[in-house]
Amino acid sequence: MRTSSINVLMIGIATCDLFTMFVMIYKYFQLVDREFPECITSDSLLKVYMDVTAWSLQYHFRRCRCWLEIMMASVRFVIMRRMSDVRNAKLINHKAGFVIIAIIFISSGLLTVTWQYECQVIENRNYSLAVNCAHYQNIYSNPKYSLVLRPLSNMAGEIIVRVYFILDSIVSNFIPSIAFPLLTIFLIREIRKVDEIREVLRRNSVTEESEERNGGLTAKLIVVMTITSFFSEAPLGIIATVKTFLQRTDKML
């Protein structure tokens, strides 16, 4: 089987899903509070940093997965729309897939580093945890290590962090939730056009017909993936934004 950019992007998506699963397993067994990263506490400094890294990796790989799926659907749409274009040869090449993955991972990594920089580990906290941590732990306890926002964010009244989480939910969830249905519609239209062309070319050789059929099956698979991604990511975007605005410790409301 020839390796194409679509195959490479699918491998990237599978890799993101695999690492997301590992992170979720770690969070399930190791984190006291799996809903709010600001509730990370521990008597071990190493474990605190591992917990923060787990949250960062979850955001990173989920964001990368969304955009890899968008780019995969976009690449397939361009290929189907301009089958006779010579420039498609570069887009189909597996190197294009690696370039797309590198750009997405680096861009997402910058957002992830920004979030992790905002988190500062402090020792022997002398004030209570956030109110939203009360469901899983005693907020008036004195954990040896815990998380706070860096002084820059506190001086800005938490606006920097608030804006970051809103932008992150837009980039990670809302834009993909809009792009997925649009790409699905475009792909379905192109599939219908290809089916019409296939009817005309039925008298050609079996090899050509087989290649057309395989291309159509790939496009249909991508359509199914975009539909499922839309239903999974759109609610997450809404929940993330609502949680950003309506935290119980919010003093801006």
Query: Could you state, in chain order, the average pLDDT of each consecutive group of 10 residues for the chain (253 residues)?
Result: 80 92 91 84 91 91 89 84 67 88 93 83 85 84 83 59 74 77 81 72 54 58 71 67 54 37
Tell me how far apart the alpha carbons of residues 3 and 164 are, in angstroms, rounded to a whole number: 38
Work out the number of other CB atoms within 10 angstroms of the CB of residue 244. Answer: 17
Q: What is the pLDDT of residue 252?
A: 36
Name the DSSP letter for residue 172. I
Q: What is the pLDDT of residue 244?
A: 57
- Provide the sign of the torsion angle of the four alpha carbons 195, 196, 199, 202, taken in this order: negative
Sketch out the chain's domains with CATH numbers: 5-245 (1.20.1070)
Q: What is the pLDDT of residue 80?
A: 78
For 116, left (φ over 0), alpha (ψ -120 to 50), or beta?
alpha
Work out the number of other CB atoms within 10 angstroms of the CB of residue 33. Answer: 20
Q: What is the pLDDT of residue 25?
A: 93
Q: What is the pLDDT of residue 88?
A: 67
The DSSP element (H or E) to which 15 belongs, if any, is: helix 5-30
pTM: 0.77
